[in-house]
Structure 1
Amino acid sequence: MISWRKHYKKGLVAIGLLLSTSASIYAQGDAANGEKLFKANCTACHALDKQLVGPALGGIVEKVKTEQNLDTDWLHKWIKDNKALRASGDKYANEIFEKFNKVEMTPFPNLSEQDITDILEYTSNPPKPAEPAADAAAATDANSFTAMEQAKRDSMNGKVIIISLLAICGLLIWLLVRLRQLVKLQQTEELEGLNATRATSFSDLYKKYSYVGKGILTLLAIFAAYGIWNWLMWIGVYKGYKPEQPIYFSHKIHAGINKIDCQMCHSSAKYGKVSEIPSMNVCMNCHRNISEYQGKYFEPGKDKAFYDAEIQKIYAATGWDAGKQQYTGKTNPVEWVRIHNMPDFVYFNHSQHVVAGEQAIINSFNKKNPDAKIDVVCKACHGQVDTMNVVQMANDFTMGWCIECHRTTEVDMNNGYNKEYFKNLHDKLKKQYPQTEGKITVDAIGGLECGKCHY
């Protein structure tokens, strides 16, 4: 009987160990899946290695266990519905809430228990980033060596070219001297008499061929006047102008790759006369939680460290302390370099074009440029901004350029307002210009009146 009981107890112990082992194996999460879930749900407020809106989550399981003697069940409850956990009177949950300025964490009831286990596994054992291959370093050294060799060759080639040019110059001088000597030897009395009748100066030549000279001078004067006129007409036209800005901002990354709408930053373009430069607070709407560049696109010659440094310039300008997640109150205004600037005597209203003329401008542009169609009205004037790393002036922005647009852009007469407001004008123009087939362009409704743009 005693022997049977001993074996029975041993069996229970073995079964208990087996169950606990099985439980621990079952609790083991998938770090790779956890990384995906973490990036999709958590990175807006958390990072593994530093505090953002919420605390750093690297090693959070061990930290909670060591400091608070709480297991992963508590973390599951917190992630699922932290508000309910706080409402239950949980001391640690309420301490965290108070510590982080009573910013309520988003509950994640959509995450399964296994999903949360995977996320916690990722915070405890994040996959190590792949180490750069050894041959990459070797390739860098080889490239450096090749560059040095190329520089030496270029230097040597430059010296050879200079010596060759000097030798050619010396040879030409020698040939000129010899030719002069030969001319003197062949000089005769007959040639001397002939030379006496020849023009030997510009004034003699001008007297002999005065009519030809006057004609040439007249042509030169005409060409000079045209050149000066053409130069004057292009004063203030800076197509292609793209100045360096105090903070590097890539529209290709923001508007192109990340698909951020133009009007999210330039909101006044739709409702105001001027499309304002966004304030730094607009930048901080996103970059409060984006402290480093995580994209895969890199402009040639620039790396992650470059983009991270530019984000730090935003923090310096706004006085944002990323470590404490609060503003210091010390700001440094950014002196942006303006690219587009209408003269004071020109009236241009962005909202009129962005709202009233949006579809008409897009349709007109796409009709004239079938190979470079646009989907946003801004691109008609400012070019394909979503492909520009550095924004540049894409068009002339001259009076002639604006007039040409007004003459070719058709007014949308199916628009309820236009259909009613321009009804009589529409009927009149259809009779007056039957060849237009009822189409009305902007110039027909006052788009060429001087007072529209100059007042």
Structure 2
Amino acid sequence: MISWRKHYKKTLIAIGLLLSTSASFYGQDGDPKNGEKLFKANCTACHALDKQVIGPPLKGVVERVKTEGGVDKDWLHKWIKDNKALRASGDKYANEIFEKYNKTEMQVFPNLSDKDIDDILAFTTNPPAPEPEKTAETTPAGDTAAAAPADKTTTNIVIISLLAIAGLLVWILVKLRQLVKLGQSEDLAGLNESRVRSFKEMYEKFHYIGKAALAILAILAAYGVWNWLMWIGVYKGYKPEQPIYFSHKIHAGENKIDCQLCHSSAKYGKVSEIPSMNVCMNCHRTISEYNGKYLEPGKDKAFYDGEIQKIYAATGWDPAKQQYTGKTQPVEWTRIHNMPDFVYFNHSQHVVAGEQAIINSFNKKNPNNKIDVVCKACHGKIDTMNVVQMANDFTMGWCIECHRTTEVDMNNGYNKEYFKNLHDKLKKQYPQDGGKITVDAIGGLECGKCHY
């Protein structure tokens, strides 16, 4: 009996040790929440939990490597820290994985500690449940009670308005009935004698008033035509639909992507070109679905995922095989900003030479709506736009006004040396401005600067 109890006790201890070892092996000795942060910072460029990107899916990777290669968590530590060295050592399973995934060399992570790797593996074994996403249409529960009285008040206002309109209609009917009776009486006979019976009589009686009215109408008509002519080609607020939906608010606003990462020629070229689809694929080769928290009203995650698939169709990318098929579909973008052929405008001149001067001038004129990058001075706050629109008039007068009010940065080394004599001359010529030099003073209003 005593020996059986001892045997039973030893069995329980063995089972406990086995369970603790198993839990440790499968990544449960790490912190999944911290592992999620590390995973997003280091792994998401090439891996996802539930699908292949550049590398294999990592959900349950600890168990998978044990089943496939007969290796343990220590092997994963070596692979993550320096897979190249592990392959060079002749490790069979490491070289099999390298061959299986098109000999794509994984980045090494010597900066990750053993605890960091344990946390990442804990996350891949048991990822925490995702937090519910907030949409722009989400209404706090507490607002429901407040909305009910507001709806009741609105209903009361509508009812009162309808009753007032009904009363007004009754009053009009009564007055019309009185007029009909008046027309049937003898009191109207005297009025009929003095009534104007023809346009000629009316003109003779009121010709001075008529001529004045015609003159006013002619002036207003001329002004209307002139104003209409002056606004031909001005499309402020124009925001056409594009073949692929692209939200600048998500890319430039939520994700803080620099404008010039996509519009690279805006800084060093005359024209800020539309980025090629290959530029999109620099990121979207590994980002095949939208997992951001921001959702535009009326759009859901499935909508954004569908637009990413359009990028793949345009570039001929097969996300399952992680390779290009060679079958591409050109995208016909609708251009928004388009200068006339007779206008010369150089982006680099404004973005490089005039960057700080334009930002300072804009912020001085708009203290409550300041900008941090020069692009926004002309294109508006792009990082808040879901659909890009033309934010300004882009007329000749608009450009001239900017040249007249934007002060040239004379602390710039080039300007300070090149315009040295001009600077001294303008100080004497415009003493009331303290010698400030605006763009118009250095030729910004010369016709040949902007027109061929």
Q: Which residue of the partner structure matches residue 384 of structure 1?
A: 381
Equivalences for residues 327-366 of structure 1 within 5 A: 327-366=324-363
Pick aligned residue for 2:406 from 404, 409, 412: 409
Q: Which moved more, 1:25-34 or 1:271-280?
A: 25-34
What is the identity, as a one-letter code, of the residue corresponding to 1:120? L
Equivalences for residues 218-257 of structure 1 within 5 A: 218-257=215-254
CA drift of 1:391 comes to 1.1
What is the identity, as a one-letter code, of the residue corresponding to 2:289? E
Pair 1:110 & 2:101 matched: no
CA drift of 1:113 comes to 2.3
Q: Which residue of the partner structure matches residue 192 of structure 2?
A: 195
Is the alpha carbon distance of 1:369 and 1:168 closer, same or farther for their aligned partners in structure 2, counting shifts above 3 Å? closer
Is the alpha carbon distance of 1:453 and 1:100 closer, same or farther for their aligned partners in structure 2, counting shifts above 3 Å? same
Q: Deviations over 1:150-201 (max 9, x none)?
A: 9xxx9xx99x97xx98x9879967864662343222247xx44x63343134
Q: Which residue of the partner structure matches residue 183 of structure 1?
A: 183
Which structure 2 segments of 5+ residues have no match? 134-139
- Aligned residues, how many? 430
Pair 1:274 & 2:243 matched: no
What is the identity, as a one-letter code, of the residue corresponding to 2:228? W
Is the alpha carbon distance of 1:37 and 1:394 closer, same or farther for their aligned partners in structure 2, counting shifts above 3 Å? same
CA drift of 1:56 comes to 1.1
Q: Deviations over 1:348-375 (max 9, x none)?
A: 1111101111111111111111111111
Backbone CA RMSD of aligned residues: 3.4
Q: Which residue of the partner structure matches residue 94 of structure 1?
A: 95
Pick aligned residue for 1:421 from 418, 421, 424: 418
What is the identity, as a one-letter code, of the residue corresponding to 1:297? Y
Q: Which residue of the partner structure matches residue 136 of structure 1?
A: none
Q: Which moved more, 1:321-330 or 1:168-177?
A: 168-177
Pick aligned residue for 1:433 from 430, 441, 448: 430
Q: Which residue of the partner structure matches residue 371 of structure 1?
A: 368
- The TM-score with structure 1 as length reference comes to 0.85
Is the alpha carbon distance of 1:66 and 1:21 closer, same or farther for their aligned partners in structure 2, counting shifts above 3 Å? closer
Q: Which residue of the partner structure matches residue 302 of structure 1?
A: 299
CA drift of 1:86 comes to 0.3
Distance 1:394 1:197 in 2: 60
Is the alpha carbon distance of 1:15 and 1:195 closer, same or farther for their aligned partners in structure 2, counting shifts above 3 Å? closer
Q: Deviations over 1:211-244 (max 9, x none)?
A: 2211110111011101111111111111111111
Distance 2:6 2:205 in 1: 135
CA drift of 1:116 comes to 2.1
Percent of matched pairs sharing the same residue: 74
Pick aligned residue for 1:314 from 311, 316, 327: 311
Distance 1:369 1:51 in 2: 49
Pair 1:214 & 2:215 matched: no
Distance 2:303 2:15 in 1: 54
Q: Which moved more, 1:82-91 or 1:207-216?
A: 207-216
Distance 1:205 1:15 in 2: 117
Distance 1:291 1:205 in 2: 77
Distance 1:51 1:271 in 2: 38
What is the identity, as a one-letter code, of the residue corresponding to 2:116? D
CA drift of 1:385 comes to 0.9
Distance 2:24 2:101 in 1: 33
What is the identity, as a one-letter code, of the residue corresponding to 1:32? K
Distance 1:414 1:174 in 2: 80
What is the identity, as a one-letter code, of the residue corresponding to 2:293? K
Q: Deviations over 1:14-66 (max 9, x none)?
A: 88777655544555333333223222221111111110000111222222222
Is the alpha carbon distance of 1:130 and 1:283 closer, same or farther for their aligned partners in structure 2, counting shifts above 3 Å? closer
SS of 1:379 mapped into structure 2: helix
What is the identity, as a one-letter code, of the residue corresponding to 1:266? H
SS of 2:58 mapped into structure 1: coil
Which structure 1 segments of 5+ residues have no match? 133-138
CA drift of 1:304 comes to 1.4
Distance 1:215 1:182 in 2: 35
Q: Which residue of the partner structure matches residue 390 of structure 2?
A: 393
SS of 1:38 mapped into structure 2: helix
CA drift of 1:392 comes to 1.0
Q: Which moved more, 1:56-65 or 1:376-385?
A: 56-65
Distance 2:113 2:430 in 1: 69
Pair 1:62 & 2:63 matched: yes
Q: Which residue of the partner structure matches residue 50 of structure 1?
A: 51
Distance 2:49 2:24 in 1: 24
Q: Which residue of the partner structure matches residue 124 of structure 1?
A: 125
SS of 2:274 mapped into structure 1: coil
Is the alpha carbon distance of 1:195 and 1:15 closer, same or farther for their aligned partners in structure 2, counting shifts above 3 Å? closer
Distance 2:391 2:385 in 1: 10
What is the identity, as a one-letter code, of the residue corresponding to 2:183? V
What is the identity, as a one-letter code, of the residue corresponding to 1:390? V
